[in-house]
Structure 1
Amino acid sequence: MRTNALGLVEVRGYLGAIAAADAALKAASVTCIGLEMIKSGLVTVKITGDVGAVQAAVEAGAETAEQLKVLLTRHVIARLHEETKAIVMKKEGENEQAEEQPAAGAANSGNADKADEANEANEASTADANESQTKARGSGCAC
């Protein structure tokens, strides 16, 4: 199957996205390449396939979302440019922030070790306190 078209259906909420994706996949021979979750509960369903199939799938998905009153917009790009395709096909989390995280993680590794030590000390003191309470209860204390 040629995957030279991209269809997008943007909705409010995960439920609407699942319903739209299901209707789109049942309507035509297309592939759902994912759901893009955006802030404020917006979700974009991404569909690829042959141009005619993608148009039919997007229409079906949008109609279902409209019935649920969650449809925001829909769009079909017939001949997706290779650079645009690379942007769309990126897995979630592959962006500029992901490249910055290793550097930030290296700078904070000392803080992470300190946090681990603090957590271990807290767990040890909690265990000691629980053991003391258990012994006190066993001895008839009304703690």
Structure 2
Amino acid sequence: MSTGDARTLAESVLREEFRRRLVADPKEALAMVEELVLSLHVESLHATAPALGSGVTWREIGRALALVDDAGILLRQAAALLLGLPAADRAAEHEMVAQALAEHGEQEEGETGELLSKAKGQEPDVWAAAVDRFRRGVRGQVL
């Protein structure tokens, strides 16, 4: 079996299992998303050696790992919302998106600051609270 065939088969199996869990119990589907997010975090740590070998600095590696962490939180949040399950509140969601965009440089400077200031004005530590809720959620506790 070629690498492409193996990848296609793996993707097909993952999609099928996700759909099965979705029909059986949306919480199980969310658990699968959380498992995939945690796997992504673990595997991204293994990428540090090749990154260092190609000249990437520790600072850049740290930033990349932080982006993977942010993406995991956003992915979990989106999955929970789409599955109709408890998720972080809108203020936390807004700040998560603004933070991720700011770190990624996707917005103009003024827009990012505006988004962050709006989110921070709504609730003081929504980002930290959302991260705490996410971590409690991936450890199997109720959100």
What TM-score do the two structures reach when normalised by structure 2? 0.22
The structure richer in helix per residue is 2
Report the TM-score, using the length of structure 1 for normalisation: 0.22
Structure with greater strand percent? 1
Kindly name which structure, 1 or 2, has the bigger radius of gyration based on alpha carbons. Answer: 1
